[in-house]
Amino acid sequence: MAFTFDWAVRVTDIVMGIAVLLGPILAVVVTLWAQNRHEKRAEKQKLFITLIAERQALGISQDVAKALNTIDVVFSGRPPIILAWHRYYAQLGQPYYQERAHSWLELLTAMASELGYSIQQTDLDKFYLPQGHADDAQFQRNVAQQWARVLENTERLLLEPRQRG
């Protein structure tokens, strides 16, 4: 009895075998790629939301400072954002002028564009700050200045118990 080889069935079997082996591997690779992409986008959004929430706060909070320090990593490979960040960073040590405010808005606009938000610089320039927060910040500055003045001009501090009676 002679054995005949059916090439059509054999090629189909080989293709099916390869598909069965590579299918799950490809599915895992695609899933990992999608998760990585999602995590990177989530990090970009978190950083952007941190900056946008305090875009015109009375000072740079620790959260904003941390967010600024991660821009080079989180937005690596995005030259418009990195350049805007470096331009703003170069101005941070200088007194606050209109140019620095403009650089800040350019940075936020570049990030918004990268994330697909259609936000104009005029929208970014709007910011709500309750007067009570501004008053409290000014009060805290005044108290700190007065304490510093007292402590700098006091050789020693004498405390005497109250006379009860």
**pLDDT tens digits, 23-67:** 888 888 888 888 888 888 889 999 999 998 887 765 778 898 999
* Sequence-distant (≥ 6) Cβ neighbours of residue 156 within 8 angstroms: none
Give residue 84's pLDDT: 95
Count of CB atoms situated within 10 Å of the CB of 106: 19
CA distance 106 to 100: 10
| pLDDT tens column, 129-145 | 667 767 777 788 888 88
The reply to whether the predicted model has a pTM over 0.75 is no
Detail the DSSP E strand segments found in 33-95: none
Angle, helix 98-114 to helix 79-91, in steps of 10 degrees: 160
Give residue 7's pLDDT: 60
CA distance 91 to 89: 5
